[in-house]
Chains A and B, each alone.
Chain A
Amino acid sequence: MTGLELIDISKQFGPVTAVEDVNLSVPAGSFICLLGPSGCGKTTLLRIIAGLEDPTRGEIRLNGARLNDRPAHKRDFGMVFQSLALFPHLTVGENIAYPLKIRGRPAAQRQARVRELLDLVRLPGVEGRAITQLSGGQRQRVAIARALAVSPQLFLLDEPLSALDAKLREAMQVELRQLQQRLGVTTIVVTHDQREAMSMSDLIVVMSNGRIQQVARPIEMYRKPANPFVADFLGQANLLRARGRGADAEISGGKIPGLRLPSNGRAIVSIRPEDVAIGPSDAAPIRATVSFIREMGASVEIHLDAGDDRIIAVASPQSCPGCAVGDTVGLTIPASACVLFAETGT
């Protein structure tokens, strides 16, 4: 089996379990995102892969060979740190050449490789500059170039874009993905930004409380989240309590026609805001009152009170039927767009 395999990985810090029973296989050449809220164990997992932490239990394999006992400096992985960790006493060129110098490559070869890498990250001609002379986005590129200098088997990035402003971050997401596709390097990115994970990766791994919640392709995960946590974390989701044993499911403010619940007649229904349709109140299966309207430019977000539930709907400004706060409107939730979860804890 080629690629990276994590088998039953757990990590304890004293009484705290940071990572618990993680099993994951990362196919060679793929781009995966470890996604989760802060403190979910995603950074610890990345550090275990890098060799900066030893797992309490479990095994790491790369292309079938056990990695556990190989120290970080012998793993030949490239890692970009959240703080970037560029060496302040070295120039841009010296930073990128550092791993090559450690491996004893001759000076001419180092220079050629530095130029090649700076071209790759579209930052040519800055090798003589001090790190302090670069902007945040440029430092980001230098950190990426340095991590890729030895053509690593695995490219690891810990919240690499979190320090950049929104616009630059989006541009870097595209660039990072293109770079990865061109080089074909197996890449693991840690992020808490679900948009970043959605737009960049082949596979998303959602983590919470040290455990993996779901591993899936982005659109698959968006359409078929495995549990309410994933549904709510990856994009927005309305989580509604539903009841009913017949052909229609009932929620607090009305009905979802054609939705069959499990045999016990109870479930949590997850519905994406863009799947909630707003129309005139008379014929619709759900009646709701508009409580808040958020103009987002390209779309408009409408918060609605339907019985005891608060439902969020997203519509395009053109299709929004000129509703205002306080209006009573009708909602239609298509059964085909609903995802059902078993009710837990009640």
Chain B
Amino acid sequence: MRRSRPEKWSDYLPIAYPAAMLTAFFVVPFGIMVAVSFFERVQGGFYQPAFTLSNYARFLSVFFGEVLVFSLALAGAVSAICLIVGVPFTYRLTRLARRYQVAWLIVLLGVLSLSEVIIGFAWSTLLSRTAGLSNLFVAIGLMESPQAWSPGLGAVLTGLVYQAFPYTVLVLYPSFSRLNPALMEAARTLGASPLRGFLTVVLPAVRRTLVATFIIVFIFALGAYLLPQILGRPRHWTLSVLVTDQAIYQSNMPFAAAMAVFLVLASLLLVALAQLADRKEPAL
């Protein structure tokens, strides 16, 4: 591979196309969004260029503060549940015979092909009082009478975890399947019970992947705006729902843009924190 520095303008040609695409579809729209976040809203119209911080100042209200905290907590809970369920699941999956692994991965990829709307309404039905799972539990004698589990926080969490779980497994899978099975066996011959070996050897060996998975699922859940509306009550709405609400129904583009910028900043801050936390450990 050639490693000399680019000298002529033609040396930049290979990256020109990706650079152009990135500029057209990411840098420009993001720039417009940042710019709009400083504009003024025109009552009954759209917006006009200006430089005002009032859109950001509106955040400082208790209402938006609470929504922000709820959104972060919800995303954190979804990531945590996905990891708690996904890590043992993926570990067991990578210990199965090849053909069972493939079958499981196809099922998980199948979930990814479902639209968010379908997932939302399917869970809304499954968790409803009239046609939901609780009728099944009544039938087999586990419950006294059918209950409505949706809308509610549990329903929102269920929907989001269901949607994020395939991503969790797919990000964890390569790491776990590359893990030397002898590590766990060594831990056992050295006196560690299977659970202790898993916690003290397997998890630390893949900790970078765990951090990466947490961040990916966290950002994914932070951007969810459809499932909280379908499966939750208004108090379960995330900042993303409010962004949609302001942008589409209230026609307040500048305020919506300011909230979106804020979400991006929160996500970036989290990634930076995770990187920092990882660097403190010895480099291996």
Where the two chains meet, the residues of A that have a C-beta atom closer than 8 Å to any C-beta of B are: 50-52, 71-79, 81-83, 85-91, 98-99, 102-103, 130-132, 146-147, 149-150, 156
Contact = CB atoms under 8 A, between A and B. Distances in A.
B61 interface: no
A25 B103 CA distance: 45
Given A102-B196, A131-B284, A132-B284, A85 B191 contact: no
Interface in B113-129: none
B102 to A, nearest CB: 19
Given A89-B284, A130-B282, A131-B284, A73 B189 contact: yes
A76 B191 contact: yes
Interface in B170-202: 180, 182-183, 185-194, 196-197, 200-201
Given A87-B183, A88-B284, A73 B188 contact: yes
A85 B196 contact: no
B234 interface: no
Contacts of B190: 73, 78, 98-99, 102, 146-147, 149-150
Interface of B: 180, 182-183, 185-194, 196-197, 200-201, 204-205, 207, 281-284
A73 B187 CA distance: 8
A147 B194 CA distance: 18
B284 to A, nearest CB: 5
The 6 closest A-B pairs by CB, nearest first: A85-B186, A85-B182, A99-B190, A79-B189, A89-B204, A72-B188
Most chain A beta-carbon neighbours within 10 Å: one of B186, B200, B283: B186
Contacts of A85: 180, 182-183, 185-186
28 contacts: A52-B185, A52-B188, A73-B193, A73-B194, A74-B191, A79-B185, A79-B186, A81-B186, A82-B182, A83-B180, A85-B182, A85-B185, A87-B183, A87-B187, A87-B204, A88-B284, A89-B205, A89-B284, A91-B282, A98-B200, A99-B190, A99-B191, A102-B190, A102-B191, A102-B192, A132-B284, A147-B189, A147-B190
Contact of B191 (A50, A73, A83, A132): A73
B189 A83 contact: no
Contacts of A102: 190-192, 196
B189 A77 contact: yes
Nearest to A131: B284
Nearest to A88: B284
Contacts of B187: 87, 98
Contacts of A83: 180, 182
Contacts of A147: 189-190
A71 B190 CA distance: 12
A233 B204 CA distance: 43
Contacts of B191: 73-74, 76, 99, 102-103, 150
A130 B284 CA distance: 7
A187 B234 CA distance: 69
